[in-house]
Structure 1
């Protein structure tokens, strides 16, 4: 005789099947929620990372150089520790502390004691010594008592005094002075012709190779072609009043004559030129960049009096530049034989006093 389960037993089995089905459903739902949370969380993390402000290109290049060659010694700004750690800045903190574009800061070149050993280091040190003691180490190419370091302070490191690390990045470049594209080596040759009132070394000469190698080493951690803050001379706005000889003379006598002499002759200690002459036979000639008022004013404003840069007003800087560049100095080596035609060809700007009358005297006749 067949036995049939009671209705109670049948109900109990159906309830167990329903409960088991609910358990499996709960497990599936839980897995879906967990997987979704992981996917969404990862996406949010990627979005935050992508939205983080990028490091400055120069800083990124420095980080790469630091990672690849710590001995290169490229010192950078106060943000270097955060940049080199690899930690991305937090967007919220960035927005709160420095809204808008990230402000560039002056590049800090490697220190002298970081010059490497070996043949490369030997040439770098040779370039450094030529830069510091140009007449003694570049004999035959220097025609005055100046050294490169007189216009490019702190061995070519100091911002706003046309530092080597800024100059090296800027070439090849078109120059209105030569009306052609100049290489860095050609730019160095011009320094010997004009600032040093001498003779340009021939292409490939060891003096040029050493100076270019020193400049290359100084520029480690920078980005080629980038205009870094402080890479040239300070650019001053035009003065409120026209630059004035008499006001400039008063500034010179009060602030400059102690080091550079009453007649711009500078100071010497034996064979060493301690403070450079600013005009006269031993100074830069009329073709030098410092004979242009805007360069001289920018240099003075940022760096003079020595160790007390930015203490003179813009007006004082323009006035004293006017006074200094109103003094006679060696002839421009491009001299055509006539001051007026030489001015028209090479000096026809408001920043050059060559070929103008100052205090009843025609400037540009050179030191005889």
Structure 2
């Protein structure tokens, strides 16, 4: 493993000294259309991590896994908050209906209306670092992007091979091929898989994304959501959404405030948060929230101030809101007697104190 990735004590790039313009940060977080979870779905089954091969390719896969579950290794370079990728993509990115990596890899490249281009898999990951991790996108072709792509590919291809009876090790790909993603006609597949599935079927595997739940019977309410939060979420995520840290290491993630995802992240949408919460929370699901409770608590969580949207130019919050935030969210709006959200946001990619 590159030791620089394990010893990122140098604070190399921060928003206060960042000359990147908002125009360089198009919306790469536009959400995909989701469906309700399939009944009796035949989800891909993941190979044991112990079967990751030895050698150069296996080292890339292992590094991708390590960065995914402990993304804080990249704090001060590409990460600016206290989150890890695994906080939203459960079970090391392997769990169905928790936006698993194996399904995402096979869904890219994909066209995004809001930035009017086809995004490769590495570009999708870059967007996650910019927004969900409140940091800086790794450079195209960089070691972290190759590693995360290799891990995603290994999960996807291993699952497909096992499902369709293809034995042996996952075929190795070059770095350039790994970074593209698997939704393309020239993506190399074993013959048995290519014959049994279409490109579109592989891009829409059961378990992909956070399955959509029904719309709430009542309009979602941050006030009602606070009651749900106090009853079911506060014990893990803190009274003020600050998460749980021991010895400076967060075991449970902050949901708002300076150390959480920023206003550009997909999770700041009420519907995205509601879908995730209903399917995956509370952790362990000893209590199953109702659809209404999931919508309400999602509204409560995302109606709090958080780090700024990196696309903001100057103090034009309302202008940015009209351009990028015409969806179920609270950026550019006030809740109760509070200030307009986005006007008192926290820094992007800050120096860790």
Q: Fold conserved (TM > 0.5)?
A: yes
Q: Is residue 283 of structure 2 the alignment partner of residue 346 of structure 1?
A: no
- For residues 264 and 297 of structure 2, what CA distance do their matches in structure 1 show? 19
Q: Deviation per CA, 1:120-153, whole angstroms, max 9, x where unpaired?
A: 1111000001001112146500001111001111
Indicate the residue corresponding to 2:191 in structure 1: none
* SS of alignment partner, residue 235 of structure 1: coil
* 1:234-292 deviation per Cα after TM superposition (whole angstroms, max 9, x unaligned): 20121000001111000000000000000000001113210000000000000001001
Which residue number corresponds to residue 126 of structure 1? 63
Between Structure 1 and Structure 2, which shows a larger proportion of helix residues?
A: 1
Quote the residue 1:105 is aligned against: 42
CA distance in structure 1 between the partners assigned to 2:275 and 2:212 by the alignment: 6
| Matching of residues 1-368 of structure 1 within 5 Å | 104-137=41-74, 139-220=76-157, 221-222=159-160, 224-225=199-200, 226=202, 227-308=204-285, 311-337=288-314, 338-349=316-327, 351-360=328-337, 361-365=339-343, 366-367=345-346
Unaligned stretches of 5+ residues in structure 1: 1-100
In the TM superposition, residue 181 of structure 1 has moved relative to its aligned partner by 1.2
Give the superposition deviation at 1:116: 1.2
Contact 2:75–2:81 (8 Å) recurs in 1: no
Kindly indicate whether the alpha-carbon contact (under 8 Å) linking 1:287 and 1:332 is maintained by their aligned counterparts in 2.
yes
1:340–1:174: structure 2 CA closer, same or farther, 3 Å change rule? same
* Larger of the two Rg values belongs to structure: 1
What RMSD, in angstroms, separates the aligned Cα atoms of the two structures?
1.8
Extract structure 1 runs of 4+ deviating beyond 3 A: 101-104, 221-225
Deviation at 1:102, TM superposition (A): 10
CA distance in structure 2 between the partners assigned to 1:310 and 1:212 by the alignment = 34
Q: How far, CA to CA, are the matches of 1:174 and 1:321 in structure 2?
A: 28
**TM-score (norm: length of structure 1):** 0.70
**Paired residues of 1:234 and 1:301 also in contact (CA < 8 A):** no
In structure 1, what is the Cα distance between the partners aligned to 2:240 and 2:279?
23
User: Counterpart of 1:154 in 2: which secondary structure?
Assistant: helix
